[in-house]
Amino acid sequence: MPGRRILPVRLGSFLPRSRSKIVFALVMGSYCIAVGSFMAAWTWVARLPRPPKAFYLRGDVPDVLGLLIFGPVIESLMLVAIFELLRRVRTPDWGQVVVSAVFISALHFGPWWPHAFIVLPSFLIQSASYLYWRRTSWKEAFWVLVCVHALSNLIPALNAVGRAMRHA
């Protein structure tokens, strides 16, 4: 309609209406998977070199546990530590989100450097999720963050298991 005014899109429109932490983690984990897939597609469009064999996981139990449990807990602890340090020095909210996400993303630089850029939007979502739930409790925010991170690692974990089953 020509007479309708277009309203700006608010970031709150992308949040679940439910206050359920489970629903929130599922939605944010889905966003992380979607944006990660989109970023990975751009590495193909940009004709970046393919990842080396060392980049791929073997799909054994330690790999899968690392992706679904240890990685999310350890990386989330590091993200929260940086986030809280920035909060203590009174960095604005956007700075806390961006700096902590960039730091954790930079840890994913090797053995294939585009991986750090692929995971950056996912860590921005995770860091913003921590900020959102931090207002309730840092402990609740931490566990929501761990769940979102584990869900975003679910596709790579399944991929590693599938690769192990094909080569078994």
Per-run averaged pLDDT (10 residues), the chain, 168 residues: 74 83 95 94 91 81 90 96 97 96 94 93 96 93 97 91 81
Give the C-alpha separation, 130 to 140, whole Å. Answer: 9
Instruction: Evaluate whether residue 83 is within a structural domain.
Output: yes
Domain limits for position 67? 58-168
Instruction: Evaluate whether residue 7 is within a structural domain.
Output: no
Instruction: Evaluate whether residue 18 is within a structural domain.
Output: no
Instruction: Evaluate whether residue 10 is within a structural domain.
Output: no
CB 28 within 8 A of CB 148: yes
CB 160 within 8 A of CB 67: yes
Give the C-alpha separation, 150 to 71, whole Å. Answer: 8
Instruction: Evaluate whether residue 95 is within a structural domain.
Output: yes
pLDDT of residue 84: 96
CA–CA distances in Å: residue 78 to residues 47, 54, 71, 140, 144: 32, 24, 11, 16, 15
Instruction: Evaluate whether residue 147 is within a structural domain.
Output: yes
Q: For the whole prediction, is pTM greater than 0.95? A: no
Q: Check residue 96 and give left, alpha or beta (phi > 0: left; psi -120 to 50: alpha).
A: alpha
Instruction: Evaluate whether residue 53 is within a structural domain.
Output: no
Angle of helix 71-88 relative to helix 138-152, nearest 10 degrees, comes to 140
Q: What is the mean pLDDT of the chain?
A: 91
pLDDT of residue 71: 93
Q: Tally the domains of the chain.
A: 1
Segment holding 88, helix H or strand E: helix 71-88
Instruction: Evaluate whether residue 153 is within a structural domain.
Output: yes
